[in-house]
Homo-oligomer: A and B are copies of this chain.
Amino acid sequence: MSEAEIHDLGPVTLQSGMTLPSLRLAYQTHGSLNADRSNAILFPTWFGGQHPSNRWIIGPEWGLDPTKYFIVVVNILGNGQSSSPSNTPAPFDGPRFPHVSVLDNVKAQRRLLAEAFGIDKLHMVIGRSMGAQVAFQWGAYYPDLVERMLPLVGSARTSIHNWIFLENVRTAITSDPAWLEGEYREPLTLAFRRMRLVFDSWGVSQAFYRQKLHLAQGFATTREYLDRHAPNLVTDGNDVLAQVSTWQGADLSDNELYAGDYAAALGAITAKSIVMPSRTDLYFPPEDSEIEVSHMPNAELRVVPSVWGHRAGAPGGAPEDIAFVDRAVRDLLAA
């Protein structure tokens, strides 16, 4: 994996009131910042992702073109690259790592951009899944700093259904006998196998399997597909739970600016936005995005017409979906 740069923010007090003595953001940049610092695009990672995950749609052949833009890929907290249970010293290591909110991520990212690059305005923020939740939080918390926003297969606030789905992810981890309340010493083989099974049922759509797209890569049977070798980037169980916790708590209005007023927070997003759910996403269904867009003054709803469910437009997914997302990126950047 390509190395990330590290920006150490020093002691940071989180939204929960707890203070981490040294909060570190791991990031990677593509392209060059122009003279007036007006070409910066922020691209946070998603649940289970790390900075290399975001490369699938960055390059001179894509809308996210490093010859034009300065693209900052930032690892979300808890993902094993930025500050996480697995890389934080005692007394905040492992299961003692505090809850980190989406806003904690956004505030830390703002400092990174300012302190490392002198950037105080984003040409665009784009994110997929949990990264989309980060994008929404940027748009609502720093409306004057975000010119464009593209949340892909994510939401402004984690729905109740999504929260319950995530309880299954949590259970997949904690049900492993090797888990030991997060003090595990043996590999969490069962935990990650069970988490895979949860995502194999939720992560794509019923139609994906009806069309047998899971067998397209050479698997003879569904069982063989379920048992495939597909290593995770995030391999630490506490890191997984830290991200689950962030995801479950996501709510762009849960802060002093909006005090839980969801509609007001969405209404405050002045960034020109294209909100992109997938037509068949089972945990970020397009209905939630419709509601979001109905409150946003400057947003377009553009549903990815895909049977790939939550994986619509994701790396390894259907090329036409990725092209569809890239088209939206180009349209938004041209606006």
Contact = CB atoms under 8 A, between A and B. Distances in A.
Interface of A: 159-165, 167-168, 171, 175, 177, 190, 194, 197-198, 200-202, 205-210, 212, 214, 222, 226, 282-283, 285, 287-288
Nearest to A175: B175
A167 B195 CA distance: 12
Contacts of A198: 168
A206 B168 contact: no
A171 B197 contact: yes
A264 to B, nearest CB: 19
A285 B202 CA distance: 14
A190 B208 CA distance: 32
Contacts of A222: 160, 163-164
Nearest to A222: B160
Given A159-B209, A159-B210, A282-B282, A197 B164 contact: yes
A163 B212 CA distance: 13
A168 B168 contact: yes
A189 to B, nearest CB: 13
5 contacts: A161-B201, A161-B205, A165-B201, A167-B226, A282-B282
What 9 pairs between A and B have smallest CB-CB spacing? A160-B209, A161-B209, A161-B206, A175-B175, A164-B201, A206-B285, A165-B201, A160-B222, A164-B200
Contacts of A208: 161
B164 A210 contact: no
Nearest to A198: B168
A200 to B, nearest CB: 6
B175 A210 contact: no
B175 A194 contact: yes
Contacts of A210: 159-161, 287-288
A160 B208 CA distance: 9
A282 B204 CA distance: 12
Contacts of A161: 201, 205-206, 208-210
Contacts of A201: 161, 164-165, 167-168, 202
Contact of A159 (B175, B200, B206): B206
A165 B168 CA distance: 12
Nearest to A190: B175
Contacts of A285: 206
B159 A171 contact: no
B206 A287 contact: yes
Contact of A171 (B194, B202, B214, B288): B194
A112 to B, nearest CB: 34
